[in-house]
Amino acid sequence: MEPQQKLQADIALIGLAVMGQNLILNMNDHGFTVVAYNRTASKVDDFLNNEAKGTKIIGAHSVEEMVSKLKRPRRVMMLVKAGQAVDEFIEQLIPHLEPGDIIIDGGNSLFEDTNRRVKYCESKGLLYVGTGVSGGEEGARRGPSIMPGGSSEAWPYVKEIFQAVSAKVDGNVPCCDWVGEGGAGHYVKMIHNGIEYGDMQLICEAYNIMKNGLGMSADEMHDVFGEWNTGELDSYLIEITRDILAKKDDDGLPLIDKILDTAGQKGTGKWTVINSQDLGIPITLMAEAVYSRCVSALKDERVKASKKLKGPRPTLSTIANNPEKKKQFINDIRDALYASKIVSYAQGYMLMRAAAKEYGWNLNYGGIALMWRGGCIIRSRFLGKIKDAYDNNPKLSNLLLDDYFRAEIKRSQKGWRNIVATSAKKGIPVPAFATALSFFDQYRSAVLPANLLQAQRDYFGAHTYERTDKPRGEFFHTNWTGHGGSTSSSTYNV
């Protein structure tokens, strides 16, 4: 055993990109001793000589050296690119660790990879934690939202550090709690990101109507977002939108007008949508948000198409020129954003419920809302209301059925419909507003036209159908043409 003075550090962190550095500094601020390691060793020295100067942070130039400085059970956290790098570091760590030591992945890993890694590390006697960390650079430094899952025996050993460095809400409640087994932490982070995509798309649609419909300037929109941020939409993403709109380029003109309209994406939104397809849950708004980024990326095609495909002019001059009407219309845009946002979160929670069932997780929905209430990118006042909804009824089957949200949608519905209808008439694309409204109308329909769809399937493929006048589970086939056979195909669902 090493002399005690060498076993000084509480945790090691691999990966000194900005998130890693900031999380280390945050841990140091909270009194933990951190060993910093990076594959390119010169980064370690740079960090120690600059950002980490004058702190208790220790540098390591090899995995072996890093591990040798840790108290037991050893805690090693990785903040490296999701994918192969995580597997490579696990392999490098294993020979230097002992049973009961803990490997933590704080990157945006795919939850299925985390499921696999938990099993693998446990088979080696180690514990494994896959944790979502949200809040960008600033969050990592000042307090992120942290969503850990994996080997539950590891939780007591990481709880103190994680909760200390995480964001706090309502006094001193940490935005960090144990999510569940296997990849549950990364799953919840994935849903966070899907919702993040949706929130961002909704804000972009509101901006687009104000800009191209009402012809509003960046400064005017800055004021509107500033006002929205004092009400029910109060959130980090509305706040940064307000600030983005005020930012001027070197020539004094709004910087926003010079940014190319093609969105990037790293894949977490896509993963959420793929998973929703696997589980058969309609997260239509997040799907539209992902596809809108894809459409935005087709810049050259869109420029060509804009010259050939004609539609109505988007300008809403009658409204824009009448201050009263304009004020009302802007309130309608706010209502459309708000109601759509309620639908998006309801869909996100539907997916989490389905995942909990499918993967055997016992998710605490109110607790998840609380974790997202501060520190993360989707943090908002609104999440406090979601927490209240699940506190009132932990078994709530759908957020749309909660009394508060039901009343909010009722109040916002007129404006929401007006915005979707006006945008359709004026050729202003509002995919997220519109899909949210269509979902809302579908979800509140006791009867949908799927009777016809079933008839079509039975007509061309003998896929059978159930009848309204017979018990569920009995399947019928009709010989629609008179020359089809009476043999039906088997019933199964993918």
Q: Which residues are the active-site residues?
A: 189, 196
Q: What sign for the dihedral angle of Cα 135, 129, 8, 31? A: positive
As measured in angstroms, the least distance from the Cβ of 140 to ligand 6PG is 8
**Element holding 326 (H helix, E strand):** helix 323-359
As measured in angstroms, the least distance from the Cβ of 264 to ligand 6PG is 6
Going by C-beta distance under 8 Å and a sequence separation of 6 or more, which residues neighbour residue 154?
102, 104, 127, 128, 129
Site for ligand 6PG in 316-375 (CB under 6 A): none
Residue by residue, DSSP assigns 403-451 as: HHHHHHHHHHHHHHHHHHHHHHHHT---HHHHHHHHHHHHHT-S--THH
Task: Considering only the C-alpha atoms of the chain, give the largest distance between any 2 of them, rounded to a whole number of Å.
Answer: 89
- Contact status, residue 461 vs residue 489, Cβ threshold 8 Å: yes
Position among 3, 171, 264, 449 found at the interface with ligand 6PG (CB under 6 A): 264
Residue 265-294 contact track with ligand 6PG, rule CB under 6 A, x = bound? xx-xx-------------------------
Tokens of 403: 């009394």
Position among 21, 193, 412, 423 found at the interface with ligand 6PG (CB under 6 A): 193
What is the Cα Rg of the chain in Å?
Answer: 26
Report CA-CA distances (Å) from 403 to 269, 385, 422: 29, 11, 29
**Residue 135 touching ligand 6PG (CB under 6 A):** yes
Using left for φ > 0, alpha for ψ between -120 and 50, and beta otherwise, residue 78 falls in: beta
As measured in angstroms, the least distance from the Cβ of 59 to ligand 6PG is 26
Q: Which is closer to ligand 6PG, CB of 208 or CB of 265?
A: 265
Residue whose beta carbon is closest to ligand 6PG:
134
Q: Which is closer to ligand 6PG, CB of 109 or CB of 151?
A: 109
Name 78's bridge partners.
14, 105
The site that binds ligand 6PG (CB under 6 A) totals a number of residues, namely 13
Position among 76, 377, 399, 430 found at the interface with ligand 6PG (CB under 6 A): 377
Spatial separation of the C-alpha atoms in residues 312 and 424, rounded to whole Å: 10
As measured in angstroms, the least distance from the Cβ of 107 to ligand 6PG is 9
Spatial separation of the C-alpha atoms in residues 79 and 105, rounded to whole Å: 6
**Residue 376 touching ligand 6PG (CB under 6 A):** yes
Q: Which is closer to ligand 6PG, CB of 374 or CB of 415?
A: 374
Q: Which is closer to ligand 6PG, CB of 98 or CB of 138?
A: 138
Site for ligand 6PG in 432-491 (CB under 6 A): none
**Residue 204 touching ligand 6PG (CB under 6 A):** no
As measured in angstroms, the least distance from the Cβ of 133 to ligand 6PG is 7
Residues that bind ligand 6PG (CB under 6 A): 108, 134-136, 193, 196, 264-266, 268-269, 376-377
